[in-house]
Amino acid sequence: MIPLRRFLHTPEAIAGAILLTALFAMALSASLLFPGDPQAIAGPALLPPFQDWSLPLGTDRLGRDVLAELFHGARTSLAVGLAAAAAALAVGAVVGTLAGFAGGLVDEMLMRTTDAFQTVPSFLLALAFVSVVGPSLGVVVIAIALGTWTGPARVARAEVLSIRERDYVASARAVGMHPLEIAFREVLPNALPPVLAMSSVIVAAAILTEAALSFLGLGDPNRVTWGGMISEGRAVLRTAPFLSIVPGIALVLTVLGIYLAGEGIVETTAVRRGLS
């Protein structure tokens, strides 16, 4: 467990680990602690927090249990964040590897397409995609991935450009491996580390984008989302600001935890690489 001890070396990384553990615990225990529909009415509307201990954080405008919504919202945030980031990293790595390894016209076309995706504000693209296809969890994931694969693609391409001239690639060519096989079995795995180093930032960005989409009413209507909760609370911002503040704090802590843990991991691996 030496890597773990090295990872927990800085107070920042420890804080990040604690926040992420709490988040995962919330997401995984949501249906155990709060079985049933979190969108069902649980009590009187707009019950302030800390009044009734069966509803610790009170209820929202429609009488739904805020704490239950918070737990189920953690689930949506985490699922969408991880799925969108995984999709973005996979597409980015493949596109970047193809562009860097093939070169020439293929490279030019793929990179101009990357430029085009980077030129359109990713949030507007996600907004348009969800609005055209219709809001559901899968569509939201694709919409977010559409705007985030470009960064990993650029990093992967730059890495592949330096790898493809190495000796082991030349020897793979010499033994007659198919170019695609070289690209995906020899080059891609070696180009992955810097791409994966971006994953914490991408997961964080995906969670923030999901929240913003649901805030604007484009989240999956059948799921509780923190962004949707904030949007709901906005209607009673003057009388019950608590309803928009709580899910917002959950969002901030989640994203902060991901950043801190991500920095910790990058530092740990950097130290390891420095030692070897």
Partner 1 sequence: MSGRTEGGTRARRFCSSSRAADAPMTRALALLRRRLVGSVFVLLIVVIGTFLLLEAAPGDAVDAYIVSTGGDAGMIELLRHRWGLDQSELARLANYLWALLHLDLGQSVTFSRPIRDVILERLPNTLLLMVSATALSFGLGSALGIYAGARPGSLRDRFLSIGSLALYAVPGFWLGLALIIVFAVGLRWLPIGGIETLASDKTGLDRAADIGIHLVLPVSALGFIYLALYLRMMRAGMAEVWRQDFVLAVRARGLSRRRIVLAHVARNALLPLVTMLGLQSAQMLGGSVVIESVFSVPGLGRLAQEAVASRDTPLLLGIILVSAVLVIAINLLVDIAYAFLDPRVGASEAGA
Q: Which is nearer to partner 1, 117 or 184 (CB)?
A: 117
The answer to the question of residue 208 lying near partner 1 (CB under 8 A) is yes
The answer to the question of residue 115 lying near partner 1 (CB under 8 A) is yes
3-state secondary structure of 231: helix
The answer to the question of residue 215 lying near partner 1 (CB under 8 A) is yes
Question: Are the C-beta atoms of residues 73 and 225 closer than 8 Å to each other?
Answer: yes
Q: What are phi and psi of 197, to 5 degrees?
A: -60, -20
Tell me the torsion sign for CA atoms 80, 86, 90, 96.
Answer: positive
Q: Which helix (H) or strand (E) holds 22?
A: helix 11-33
The answer to the question of residue 234 lying near partner 1 (CB under 8 A) is yes
The answer to the question of residue 98 lying near partner 1 (CB under 8 A) is no
The answer to the question of residue 124 lying near partner 1 (CB under 8 A) is yes
Which range binds partner 1 by CB under 8 A, 75-83, 93-101, 113-121, 162-170? 113-121
Tell me the torsion sign for CA atoms 29, 33, 56, 44.
Answer: positive
Q: Which two tokens stand for residue 72?
A: 């189920």
The interface with partner 1 within residues 133-152 (CB under 8 A) comprises 133
Question: Are the C-beta atoms of residues 258 and 24 closer than 8 Å to each other?
Answer: no
Q: Shortest distance, CB of residue 120 to partner 1, whole angstroms? A: 5
Q: Contact residues for partner 1 (CB under 8 A)?
A: 12, 112-113, 115-116, 118-125, 127-129, 131-133, 204, 208, 211-212, 215-218, 227, 230, 234, 237-238, 241, 244-245, 248, 251-253, 255-256, 259-260, 263
